[in-house]
Amino acid sequence: MNGKSWLGFYGAAGNVTGSRTLIHARRGGVLVDCGLFQGTQVEREQNWQPFPFDATALEGIVLTHAHIDHSGAIPLAYKRGYRGPVFCTPGTAELLEILLRDTGRLQEEEAHHRNWHGWSKHRPALALFTEEEAAAALSLVRIVDYQVPFHLGGMEFAFHRAAHIVGSAHAHCRLPSGPTVLFSGDVGRGDHLLLGDVPPRPVADLIVCESTYGDRLHPALPSIDELQAALEPVLARRGIALMPSFAVGRAQDVIAMIAELFDAKRLPVCPVYLDSPMAAKALDITAHDERELRPEGPELLRRARHYAKITGTQDDSKRLNALRGPAVIVSASGMLTGGRILHHIVEHAGRPENALILCGYQARGTRGRRIVDGEREIKIFGQPVPLRLEVKCLTTFSAHADREGLVRWLLNGPPPERVYLNHGEPGAALALKGALEKILPRDVRIAVARGGERVDLNFLQDE
C-alpha cells in the first residue's frame, strides 16, 4: 500500500530562495514550502518556468513559515490550478495574509512600471501573479497549531516551533511505513531579542536542514550594541538614518531595539518612522502572538509602538522628503529590491550627514549586495544615484542560526540516518557538511541537496 516514497528538491538547493521540496508517498505528494526565487534576474526568471511537478495533482502544501522565499509561489500554484489545502501555524497564516497580497500588488506595480518605461523584454510585461490571485490562494489556508498532528498524502505531519520568525516551524513527517523526515525550515538563532529559544528538534530518520549561514559564525557583539554604535554618530550630527529592513521580523527587531536604547538613555530620543504598512501590520501580529515571545517581549513591543510613528499612506511617506534630522526611517525591502525605501534613498542620499544602514542578509544580484560589495552608485528607477551619505553594513543581525547554531540544533537529539543540506549557497552548504562530518557519528550520511535531485526514501523502510 505504501508504494515508493521519495523526496524531490525543486528549489533552495544550491541557493537560498525558492524553497520547494516535494515529499511523495502516493499520488501527487506533498510540497513542503512553495517559495519564490529571489535575487539575480536569472534566479527570478525561474519563477516563470513551469513547476517540475504537477501542481494540480499535489495532495497538499505544508508551509514552514511566511517568508516569501518559502511561501511566495503559493499564488502561482493557485494560478496553475492547485486547489488543495495549505497547512500552516496560526502566526504564519496571519503573516501570509499580508505578505502574499503585498507580493501580488508589487508584481502588478512592477509590471505597470516596466510597461510605462518600456523596460521589459516582454511586451506587455506581465505580473507573475496579481493581488487578486494572491487573495484567492489565501482561501486554501488551513491553520494547525504546533504539535497537533494532521494527515496529508498518506503521511502524518506536525509543526514544531523554530523560533525564526512568528509562526515559524519545522515540519515533521511520518511516512506510511513508519520512518520519519524532518524539514528544518529556517532555524532561529536562539538569542533573539523578541522570540524565545529554539527548542530541541524532534527525532527523525532523515533531516533536511537549511544551511544559509553554514559557513559563518555570527559576531559575539550583541546586535543592540552594534545598532547603538551605528546610530549614535548619525543622530549626533543631526542626520537621517535610513534603515531598510525585512518587513516581517527585522523591522520589528530594529524598532524594539531603538526603543530599548531610548529608554536606557543609550541614544537621545528622536523621531522614528516605521514607513511600511506591511511592517506595521506585522508589528501588531508579533505583539499579539505572545506565546511565541520571550517573557519581556510584549513589553518591549509596547514601548516600540510608543516611539514608532507609522506612516500609512504614500502621501505620508512622501512628506518624509522634507524631514530634517536627527531621525530614523525604518522601511521594508531589506535588500533594496523595491518599495518606499528607494524613494527615501533618492531623496536623502546626497547629504553626508545622513546614513544608509543595511542590517540583514543581502542576496546575490540585489542592490543591497552590490552596496555591501563596495559600489557607491546604484541605479534606482533607471537613474544612477550616487551614495554621498554614510553607508554602514551591520553584521550581527540575522534571524538564522549560524554554523554553530545549526550544528547544535542537529546534535540536540538522536542522530538521524541521513542529512540533506539545502537552503544555502554552495560554499555555505559544503562548510556545514564539513563541520557535521567531524561531529556526527560516521554512519550518518550527509549530502548537499542538488536542484532537481530525487532521493528514494525506501532505504529508510528497510531498517
Residue (99 or 389) nearer to Zn ion, CB: 99
Q: Which is nearer to Zn ion, 165 or 345 (CB)?
A: 165
- Give the single-character DSSP code of 439: H
Instruction: Give me the least distance between CB of 423 and Zn ion, in Å please.
Output: 9
* Min separation Cβ 36 and Zn ion, Å: 12
Question: Which C-beta is closer to Zn ion: that of 25 or that of 169?
Answer: 169
- Residue in the structure block whose three cell numbers are 541537496: 449
DSSP 8-state symbol, 195: B
Nearer to Zn ion, 67 or 370 (CB): 67
CB of 186 to Zn ion, least distance (A): 4
Rg of the chain in Å (alpha carbons): 22
CB of 158 to Zn ion, least distance (A): 20
Minimum Å gap between C-beta 449 and Zn ion is 17
CB nearer to Zn ion: pick between 127 and 399:
399
- Within 10 Å of residue 295's Cβ, how many Cβ atoms? 8
What is the C-alpha to C-alpha distance for residues 188 and 183, in angstroms, rounded to an integer? 14
Provide the 8-state DSSP code for 313. S
Q: Answer yes or no: are the C-beta atoms of 85 and 34 closer than 8 Å.
A: no
Selection from 207, 104, 96, 236 nearest residue 432 by Cα: 207
Q: Which amino acid is at 190?
A: G
> How far apart (Å, rounded) are the C-alpha atoms in residues 140 and 399?
28
User: With contact defined as beta carbons under 8 Å apart, do 240 and 329 qualify?
Assistant: yes
In the complex, minimum distance from the CB of residue 99 to Zn ion, in angstroms, rounded to a whole number: 11
Residues that bind Zn ion (CB under 5 A): 67, 186
| Residue closest to Zn ion when measured from CB atoms | 67
- Residue 394 CA to residue 225 CA, distance in Å, equals 11
- What cell numbers appear for 405 in the block? 547554531
**Sheet strands (E) in 387-453:** 390-393, 418-422, 445-448
Instruction: Give the integer Cα–Cα distance in Å for 410 and 173.
Output: 17
Shortest Cβ 65–Zn ion spacing (Å): 6
Closest CA to 436 of 462, 456, 411: 411
* Shortest distance in whole angstroms from residue 19 CB to Zn ion: 9
Q: How far apart are CB 67 and Zn ion at their closest, in Å?
A: 4
Q: What is the dihedral of CA 306, 307, 310, 311, to 10 degrees?
A: 150
**Grid coordinates 534606482 are at which residue?**
380
Here the cell at position 380 is: 534606482
Residue number, 67 or 174, with CB nearest to Zn ion: 67
Q: Which is nearer to Zn ion, 67 or 114 (CB)?
A: 67
Give the nearer residue to Zn ion in terms of CB position, either 67 or 192.
67
Min dist CB 274 to Zn ion, Å, is: 21
Q: Which is nearer to Zn ion, 67 or 348 (CB)?
A: 67
Q: Kindly tell me which of 186 and 402 has the beta carbon lying closer to Zn ion.
A: 186
DSSP state of 406: H
- Report how far residue 185's alpha carbon sits from residue 208's, in angstroms, rounded to the nearest whole number: 8
